[in-house]
Amino acid sequence: MEDEIKEILLNLSHTNYESKFINEKNIKSILIENDEVEISIELNFPIALISEEFKILIKNSLKELVQLPLQINLTQKIKSHQAQKGISLINGVKNVIAVASGKGGVGKSSTAVNIALALLNEGAKVGILDADIYGPSQPQMLGINKKPESKDGKSMEPIIAHGLQVMSIGFLVDQETPMIWRGPMVTSTLEQLLKETNWSDLDYLIIDLPPGTGDIQLTLAQKIPVTGAIIVTTPQDIALLDARRGLKMFEKVNVPIIGIVENMTTHICSNCGHEEHIFGQGGGDRMSADYNTLLLGSLPLDISIREHLDNGTPSVSIDPNNKISKIYQAIAQKVAFKVSELTEDHSGKFPKIVIKND
C-alpha cells in the first residue's frame, strides 16, 4: 500500500500551483501500523493558510485506497536557493526576491509590500528592502516614521512594521531631500543597506527596486544575490514595452523570472459598478506567453489600495480577507511555490577544508 499511496501523493495538483506540489523529497514517511496510516510531508514553501486545504485534498485522494484511520502531518521548511554565480548569499537571508518594473507608476511598490505581507501571512519570515533610492516609498506605505538603531555603531537593526523586517534609505534622510546621486553612489548605498542590516533568519527578502532598466538597475542585478524576479506592469502597451526590457535585463544576468503581476487590469466605477479595461486588455497574458513565464495574478485599479497605503496600512495587513488581499495572497502562494522549484543552494553544507603543516 505504501507505494500506491506515494504514487497518488506525487500526482496531486492544486489550482494555485502550475505543477504537482509534492515530490519524492517532500514525503518524509508513510507509516502503516496499529491499524492506522500516518503520512508526514515537509513542503518547501509556507503553508499556514492552506495546510488544512492540503490535508483535505490528500485525504480525499486516498479515501478509496486507505480504509484505515488516516493521520496527515504537514510541515514547512523553506530552503535557500541559488543566486547568480559568484555572488554570495546575504547573512540571515535565505532567498532574495526582486520586484521590478520597466517604468514608474505601475504599482511596483504597492505590489512589493503586499506580496511581502501575504508571504508573512503564509507563515514565512519576511523582510523588505526599499531599494528605490531616488523615491523611497515604503516608510509611508508601512507607516514608519523613525530611524533604525545601531547596537555596534557599524550595522543597523531593521525596523519591524506589520511583522515585516524593513530597511529603507527613507529612514536615514529627510522625506523632502532630493537624492541627487550618480550611479556608483546609489549602488554603493544600496549594498550598504543590504549587507549592513542585521536581517534575522529571513525566508524571503523582498527588494523593491527602482523603476527602469538603465545602468543602475543592471549593476544592482549583478551585485545583489537575487533568487528570482517579479515583473510588475499594467496592460498598457507602453508599460508592457518597458516591462519586456526589464524582463530581458534579468535574463542577461541569469536571474530567473518568477512571474508577472499585471496591475490596473480593470477599473470598476465606484458609483455605477461599470467595469472597463481603461489601460487595455490581455497585455499580461500576451507577455507571459511570449516569454514562457507565469502570470502570477491581475489586480484591478481600486481606490482602497491607494487609500490603505497612504495611511500606512497596506491592504493585506488591514483586511486580509477582502477581495484585493485574496488576490495578493494567491500571488504570494504562487511566488513561494515557484521559488521552491528553483535550484537549492548547498554552499553552506560543504565542510571547510583546512590545510595544516605538520
The pLDDT of residue 104: 80
- Which residue among 41, 76, 111 closes a domain? 76
Q: Cα–Cα distances in Å, from 296 out to 82, 175, 251, 318, 335?
A: 21, 33, 18, 22, 7
Give the number of domains in the chain. 2
Nearest alpha-carbon partner for 144 in 124, 159, 123, 125: 159
Q: Supply the DSSP string of 197-238, one letter for each residue.
A: B---SBSEEEEEPPSS-SHHHHHHHHHS--SEEEEEE-SSHH
The pLDDT of residue 219: 74
| Antiparallel, parallel or unpaired: β 36-43 and 70-76 | parallel
**For 116-174, what is the HEC assignment?**
HHHHHHCCCCEEEEECCCCCCCHHHHCCCCCCCCCCCCCCECCEEECCEEEEEHHHCCC
The pLDDT of residue 356: 57
Pair 36, 116 in one domain: no
Pair 106, 70 in one domain: no
Tell me, yes or no, whether 21 lies in a domain.
yes
- Which residue among 47, 76, 105 closes a domain? 76
Pair 70, 214 in one domain: no
Residues in the chain: 358
Q: Is 113 helix (H, G, I), strand (E, B) or coil?
A: helix
Tell me, yes or no, whether 347 lies in a domain.
no
Pair 311, 162 in one domain: yes
Tell me, yes or no, whether 85 lies in a domain.
no
Pair 33, 158 in one domain: no
The pLDDT of residue 355: 56
Burial (Cβ within 10 Å: 0-12, 13-18, ≥19) of residue 358: exposed
Tell me, yes or no, whether 65 lies in a domain.
yes
> Are 71 and 38 a contacting pair, CB within 8 Å?
yes
Tell me, yes or no, whether 349 lies in a domain.
no
> Are 258 and 335 a contacting pair, CB within 8 Å?
yes
Tell me, yes or no, whether 107 lies in a domain.
yes
Burial (Cβ within 10 Å: 0-12, 13-18, ≥19) of residue 153: exposed
Q: Give me the CATH number covering residue 69.
A: 3.30.300.130
Pair 54, 100 in one domain: no
CB proximity list for 191: less than 8 A, separation 6 or greater: 223, 224
Pair 119, 54 in one domain: no
Domain span including residue 105? 96-340
Pair 107, 61 in one domain: no
Tell me, yes or no, whether 355 lies in a domain.
no
Cα(248)–Cα(251) distance, integer angstroms: 5
Pair 102, 219 in one domain: yes
Cα(247)–Cα(146) distance, integer angstroms: 35
> Are 293 and 264 a contacting pair, CB within 8 Å?
no
Cell 488544512 belongs to residue: 52
The pLDDT of residue 213: 72
> Are 169 and 136 a contacting pair, CB within 8 Å?
yes
Q: Cα–Cα distances in Å, from 352 out to 83, 92, 94, 192?
A: 21, 20, 20, 27
Pair 100, 52 in one domain: no
Q: What's the order of all strands across the beta sheet hosting 70-76?
A: 27-33, 36-43, 70-76
Tell me, yes or no, whether 329 lies in a domain.
yes
pLDDT tens, the chain, 358 aa long: 889 999 999 999 888 887 789 999 999 999 998 889 999 999 999 999 999 999 999 999 999 898 889 999 999 999 999 888 888 889 999 999 999 987 788 889 999 999 999 999 999 999 999 988 777 889 899 999 888 999 888 899 999 999 999 999 888 876 666 666 676 777 888 888 899 999 999 999 999 988 877 667 777 777 889 999 999 988 887 788 888 888 888 888 889 999 999 998 888 777 787 778 877 777 788 888 888 899 999 999 888 898 999 999 999 999 999 999 999 999 999 999 999 999 887 665 545 555 555 5
Pair 177, 224 in one domain: yes
Q: Would you tell me the crossing angle of helices 215-223 and 237-252 to the nearest 10 degrees?
A: 40
CB count in 10 Å sphere of residue 14:
16
Q: Is the pTM of this model over 0.85?
A: yes
CB proximity list for 276: less than 8 A, separation 6 or greater: 266, 267, 269
Cα(113)–Cα(341) distance, integer angstroms: 23
The pLDDT of residue 196: 92
Q: Give me the CATH number covering residue 275.
A: 3.40.50.300
> Are 205 and 164 a contacting pair, CB within 8 Å?
no
Pair 310, 235 in one domain: yes
